[in-house]
């Protein structure tokens, strides 16, 4: 679960956002009543398009757009795919310059919360919203649109593990053992993975576990795609905080070169979809949001991306997420920018990454 490095620094420029934009500072929680698609569609077609800033994978964005446009022809989707460390500062910079380009944004929960705090988003509750777990219900009113959730797992190369006469790793602690020294990778920017460990284990135990991992000479790899590609190639043999949905997809295609183990508790985080402040295409933005969060939209999220949905009707991959087998340990949805940066620095120091 990657997240932006130094989000407090990245959003410092938001201090002048409201004076430049002429809006009130802080969180807006007044939620307008939801409209039905048939009410939104005529105006949305007149607007012609919706602009979506997203951290969805490049390989999934086009298929998601096609599914929406099949449901609502006449409303074009223009997507700007941004990395998790670029989306927040991009939105803040634009709005600070009185440029309102984005209609809908979707990204990890923590940076979205910071965007809520600095007033760059507006609350909206679609007619259908998957229910949030109790641990995520402290998000401000109107901002709990979990478009999907991410879980982390230990990915490993079965053939390589067997050839080296190792036991498949089934717990994070396994990778702190001497026989795994230098044979696994870790993402040093995965702050919400570390937050999940804190939620599941408590701060002191989580920090000690990360220190043990750091002392076992992990390879530092910030790209989730790269880390899994390397595991498939057998160098290194494992990744401790891989995206489970990606590992599951690769395991189906290359079962001799990719397998994964979920841990209990299971690190989990939410990705949120929200409407930008002063969205230039407000009806199209609401229509797109309504579709994303609906049963149909969530079915497409699961079917296209293999992400996990909180929608009770969605057919999730049970090998990736099953709370009856692996208790989710959620990252912190509401966290100050300073605390966020403190945890990130602490995490990276423990890994000897700084």
pLDDT in tens, 6-30: 455 454 444 434 433 334 356 777 7
In the structure, what pLDDT confidence band is assigned to residue 333 with cuts at 50, 70 and 90? Answer: confident
Residues near 318 by Cβ (< 8 Å), separated by ≥ 6?
Answer: none
Q: Parallel, antiparallel, or unpaired: how do β-strands 266-276 and 104-108 relate?
A: antiparallel
Give percent of the chain with pLDDT exceeding 70.
92
Question: Per mean pLDDT, which range of 13-22, 124-133, 252-261 is the poorest?
Answer: 13-22
Nearest to 138 by CA among 119, 108, 106, 113: 113
Give percent of the chain with pLDDT exceeding 90.
80
Nearest to 106 by CA among 155, 166, 147, 50: 147
Q: What is the pTM of this model?
A: 0.89
In the structure, what pLDDT confidence band is assigned to residue 337 with cuts at 50, 70 and 90? Answer: confident
pLDDT in tens, 165-188: 999 999 999 999 999 999 999 999
User: Is 218:169 a contact under the CB 8 Å cutoff?
Assistant: no
Q: What is the mean pLDDT of residues 189-194?
A: 93
What pLDDT is attached to residue 23? 40
Q: What is the mean pLDDT of residues 293-319?
A: 96
């Amino acid at each position: 679960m990657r997240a932006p490095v130094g989000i407090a620094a990245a959003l410092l420029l938001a201090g002048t956002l409201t004076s430049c934009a002429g809006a009130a500072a802080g969180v807006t929680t007044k939620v307008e009543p939801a409209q039905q698609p048939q009410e939104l569609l005529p105006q949305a077609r007149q607007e012609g398009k919706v602009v979506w800033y997203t951290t969805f994978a490049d390989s999934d964005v086009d298929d998601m757009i096609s599914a929406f446009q099949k449901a609502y022809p006449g409303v074009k989707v223009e997507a700007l795919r941004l990395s998790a460390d670029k989306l927040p500062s991009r939105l803040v910079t634009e709005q600070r310059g009185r440029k309102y380009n984005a209609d809908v944004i979707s990204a990890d929960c923590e940076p979205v919360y910071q965007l809520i705090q600095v007033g760059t988003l507006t609350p909206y509750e679609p007619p259908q919203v998957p229910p949030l777990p109790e641990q995520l219900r402290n998000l401000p009113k109107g901002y709990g649109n979990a478009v999907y959730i991410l879980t982390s797992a230990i990915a490993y190369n079965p053939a390589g593990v067997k050839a080296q006469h190792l036991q498949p790793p089934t717990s994070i602690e396994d990778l702190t053992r001497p026989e795994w020294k230098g044979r696994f990778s870790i993402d040093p920017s995965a702050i919400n993975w570390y937050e999940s460990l804190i939620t599941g284990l408590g701060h002191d135990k989580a920090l000690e576990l990360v220190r043990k991992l750091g002392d076992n000479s992990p390879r530092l790899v910030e790209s989730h795609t790269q880390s899994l590609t390397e595991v498939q190639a057998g160098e290194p043999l494992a990744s401790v905080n891989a995206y489970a949905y990606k590992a599951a997809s690769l395991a189906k295609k290359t079962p001799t070169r990719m397998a994964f183990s979920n841990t209990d508790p299971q690190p989990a985080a939410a990705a949120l979809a929200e409407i930008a402040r002063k969205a230039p295409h407000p009806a199209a933005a609401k229509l797109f949001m309504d579709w994303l969060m609906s049963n149909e939209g969530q079915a497409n999220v699961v079917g296209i991306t293999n992400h996990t949905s909180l929608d009770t009707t969605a057919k999730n991959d049970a090998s990736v997420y099953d709370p009856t087998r692996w208790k989710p340990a959620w990252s912190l949805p509401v966290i100050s920018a300073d605390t966020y940066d403190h945890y990130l620095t602490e995490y990276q120091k423990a890994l000897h990454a700084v």
